[in-house]
Structure 1
């Protein structure tokens, strides 16, 4: 990423930051809050108006009931996930993490001094977790199973039948499920399911405004948790940041209550870009995983004979396209790269054309 940033003509398909601007009414809500004195401390878990609306959203979109007092507004889903792990583990405990996965899960575990045990997501299992593998990893020290659906980096979704098995497994082994659902509004079919619809007593769910409303720089997300742990999570959060910026919280409320046209537009745009990119890759030696959510394509580049690190660097230096090397997402990412579909349509199309051309060159 640092090298790509130093090359101004680079087509950036490496970072999951939507190129869309935040909705105008969101910006005005923050401006209005700042200009009318709503710039003070708030309750650590968030302003009541926002928490109430988030409980409504969770019922409408995610399909399960929660209450405002079980919703915690966080400084992005990243901080929310960190706080959830803080509240549910002690140093020396174990957490089951996906591999490949967003690398911050592993960094959080290291900071909290909890031991990660990774379950492999492979083409053989459609890059989805299996209970058999989870069972081979769980031990008396395991406290948390972390899942991510839709997945970053693979774009896969855990279907209802598989999710039920995972929830039953967690209950059998007395595990907390920490469910990263940051891409819950960016799904391309109707198979998305939140695990809390199956067991609200064992699931802590994390969400974000970043992807849904193109608000990455605002740094606001939220958790919902069972009553038995939500108070502890709020107390842990208070020690980390006191509260989320008040104007940002009013902006988030405006995002929820205002027009949702941009959310639908972005989802359809990502769907269209994905279809076009998959079509362009179809006759290449590269093997894409067809995403069912999020805005990434997980691309098997093993046919080129290059490591993901070498492929990424050569593609950047020789063809001016930046993608993310698979090993950045864990050992199971070796031989893959991740393409982000957040750039403009023309850039995504041109970037994929250059990737296909580069792959062909490696075989000649």
Structure 2
């Protein structure tokens, strides 16, 4: 008996440890469960990992353009030291670069990427009104990576082009007054890290302060405030699964509390993958009129998959920090490309100007080594300096080849006026969702204009009640141990999902990425989920003597 008790204690301890893991770390344990005993399984039964959201599609045309631009830049470099046979090149030359580019295009006509590259130069000159020569010189020097990023926040023409892309995709046709600054960063995760750190260093958030999080949300937004570095109090603004994952006015009204210094949200949401509806965006904008000191951070990485997306940055630009990543839309998670944008007239700079004298003196000393007027240093430029611990500010900035690819992705989207690429991706992921739900035997609202479908979250309590009634759900909740369904799916069907609870969902659930597998795989996942659900229904029938109506499953 003692041995058995010890074994149970060890199991309980292990379960508690697994429950404490971030969903991205728990994923590794689920993968182990899916691979355990694989040698004994049929060879054609492969693991289906719908956990992490790395897409299995990518944008090819701007990548072809990148390689062609690299070849042109190498030709430019080799002109400078042509007399040296040892493989020494020099910086490209600005004079005559447009004519030499035109010659390069004619000589390589028909090669993949050349028409796009020629069109990009034309677009920059004719539609954006920039100098083609200045653009080509900046791109050649950048792709050769032969100089530091100057300016360090983002290259000059790069900022204009990335800014135009953000205007198109994040603001659209919504009225927007004024200009905004952009900081090129190593993806959305770097953006989060830099923003939290600089807000803390500049006394905009301090230990014990309260922030609000739009829940559910990308897990690091939940975890970072709890770290010893920050020690923040958190108010949850909860989206309701019964209202298609929208925030009610009652939940959003939590932002009226003057104790709440900042509101962080992901829009479209992760993991429900639903954009905030227009009414809710307007409600937040109205709250800002009452609370002009409230800081907003909107992480809009999935906005490009939505129909007619408008960011909170468009409605409350002076209070909002916009975070965007190129990783998902262009299939570029390995490139680490992201951007932070702030309006040039923003609440952050105003709050910095209103800090107490003692704190201003501390910050004056912090930044005095990089500027003669540290008190006037804008928040976004403090982000740049803090990203290199201030003392290394002279070597700050995203690597220049990364900025080139960012520019080419942006131009690819700007030039795609019929949205052919965007519409193709929407069709791709939405057909995968349809396949998944068809095999599960569950209906969903395909006409919801706010559904984005990069992910879908399978809420066991909500769906179980909808399909089988509350009695079944209450029974099931008592039977299930934490993450039991996920580990059973992994071990028995070799299907890996992420736990929704790690993203702040209130009910047992699993996040399914609709971006990283093929349609036939999602059908297999749907069948595995249906089989597991039917097993619990059978167990319920046997335990209660009732018989649930299985016809409900196929509605």
Band the TM-score falls in, shorter-chain normalisation? 0.7 to 0.9
2:185 to 60, 71, 74: 74
Structure 1 residue aligned with 2:405: 251
Q: Map Cα deviations across residues 131-153 of structure 1 (whole Å, 9 max, x no partner).
A: 32233465433211122221111
Q: Name the CA shift for 1:210/1:66 in 2 (closer, same or farther; >3 Å).
A: farther
Instruction: Give the Cα–Cα distance (whole angstroms) in 2 for the partners of residues 250 and 45 of structure 1.
Output: 14
SS in 2 for 1:50: helix
1:145 to 237, 254, 263: 263
Name whichever structure is richer in strand by fraction. Answer: 1
Instruction: Give the Cα–Cα distance (whole angstroms) in 2 for the partners of residues 118 and 108 of structure 1.
Output: 15
Check conservation: 1:308, 1:334, Cα contact below 8 A.
Answer: no
Check conservation: 1:39, 1:247, Cα contact below 8 A.
Answer: no
Structure 2 residue aligned with 1:17: 54
Name whichever structure is richer in helix by fraction. Answer: 2
Return 62-71 or 291-300, whichever deviates more: 62-71
Structure 2 residue aligned with 1:266: 425
Structure 2 residue aligned with 1:232: 379
How far apart are residue 87 of structure 1 and its match? 4.1
Instruction: Report how many aligned residue pairs link the two structures.
Output: 360
Structure 2 residue aligned with 1:91: 206
With structure 1 as the length reference, what TM-score do the two structures score?
Answer: 0.88
User: Is 2:223 the partner of 1:107?
Assistant: yes
Return 3-12 or 31-40, whichever deviates more: 31-40
SS in 2 for 1:121: strand
Q: Map Cα deviations across residues 304-323 of structure 1 (whole Å, 9 max, x no partner).
A: 72356111011101111001
SS in 1 for 2:206: coil
Q: Name the CA shift for 1:80/1:314 in 2 (closer, same or farther; >3 Å).
A: same
2:508 to 312, 335, 339: 335
Instruction: Give the Cα–Cα distance (whole angstroms) in 2 for the partners of residues 86 and 329 of structure 1.
Output: 22
Structure 1 residue aligned with 2:81: none
SS in 2 for 1:165: helix
Structure 1 residue aligned with 2:282: 164
SS in 2 for 1:217: coil
Q: Map Cα deviations across residues 106-131 of structure 1 (whole Å, 9 max, x no partner).
A: 22323451322212222244322233
Return 321-330 or 50-59, whichever deviates more: 50-59
Q: Name the CA shift for 1:283/1:235 in 2 (closer, same or farther; >3 Å).
A: closer
Q: Map Cα deviations across residues 244-279 of structure 1 (whole Å, 9 max, x no partner).
A: 121111111111113655443222201221222233
Structure 2 residue aligned with 1:348: 522
Instruction: Give the Cα–Cα distance (whole angstroms) in 1 for the partners of residues 266 and 447 of structure 2.
Output: 16
Structure 1 residue aligned with 2:328: 211
Q: Map Cα deviations across residues 73-120 of structure 1 (whole Å, 9 max, x no partner).
A: 121112223333444432232210022211011223234513222122
Q: Name the CA shift for 1:238/1:41 in 2 (closer, same or farther; >3 Å).
A: farther
How far apart are residue 5 of structure 1 and its match? 4.1
Instruction: Give the Cα–Cα distance (whole angstroms) in 2 for the partners of residues 211 and 67 of structure 1.
Output: 29
Instruction: Give the Cα–Cα distance (whole angstroms) in 2 for the partners of residues 222 and 109 of structure 1.
Output: 22
Check conservation: 2:180, 2:342, Cα contact below 8 A.
Answer: no
2:315 to 194, 198, 202: 198
Structure 1 residue aligned with 2:130: none
SS in 2 for 1:71: strand
Check conservation: 2:256, 2:287, Cα contact below 8 A.
Answer: no
User: Is 2:145 the partner of 1:38?
Assistant: yes
1:177 to 296, 304, 308: 296
Check conservation: 1:44, 1:238, Cα contact below 8 A.
Answer: no
Check conservation: 2:267, 2:299, Cα contact below 8 A.
Answer: yes
Instruction: Give the Cα–Cα distance (whole angstroms) in 2 for the partners of residues 40 and 246 of structure 1.
Output: 8
Instruction: Give the Cα–Cα distance (whole angstroms) in 2 for the partners of residues 75 and 145 of structure 1.
Output: 23
